Amino acid sequence: MAQLLGSPPVAVAARAGPTLMAVARPVYADLGARMVVLSHESGADIAQPFIYVDGLLARPVDCSITRVTLVNSSQNFWWNLVMGPQTAEYAQVHLWQAQLADWQAQGYLCPPFILAHIHENNFYRRGSVAWDSYYYQIDAHGNKTTPLAPPFDLSAPDPSTLRPAQEQEAIWQTYEAMVVWAAGHLQVVTSANVVDLAAAAGR
């Protein structure tokens, strides 16, 4: 990756068990990585957001606007709700404003680290990701279940489905509105920026 990009990736997010990751993290640090994703959507300590693990800064996340809780207490991703009756309520700008209002109501003096990620395939595919069927059994609803053992079948059928063009456009419009709002109201930071913030804080 360093040869391809011209510099080592700042953040790494390998998925493995704790034993393998304890070995891998120091290797990533030696290869030039500076941050590791330990938590998918949360996990920061408000009192001490900058914590290092095996030489890598753990990505701080105070709150996320990726997943929303529905009236029946189930959770879903906002991009799966853009065509429903409560589209405006689940739009990213609305979720962001609600998170910030809640943060301020708690009386915190520092600004939060808010995560607003979406995977590239979420813009145009629905359901499990294409490679789930390589490594897991897929049930009748398209969900991954039991892990498979090698050798893996890389020609297994894709369990995801193509989103209709109208839904794809709605997701893009919602995402673009979030980017515009964030650029005008917040300090947007990359992984490299967060590493620099930690260094400036003496961490």
- 134-180 tens-digit pLDDT: 999 988 887 889 999 999 999 999 989 999 999 999 999 999 999 99
In terms of Cβ atoms closer than 10 Å to its own Cβ (0-12, 13-18, 19+), residue 166 is exposed
CA 54 to chain centre: 22
* Residue 51 CB neighbours (<10 A): 16
CB 87 within 8 A of CB 64: no
How many residues does the structure list for the chain?
Answer: 203
Backbone φ and ψ for 172, nearest 5 degrees, come out as -60, -45
pLDDT digits (tens, 9 = 90+) for 23-82: 889 999 999 999 998 876 776 677 788 889 888 999 888 888 888 877 677 788 889 989
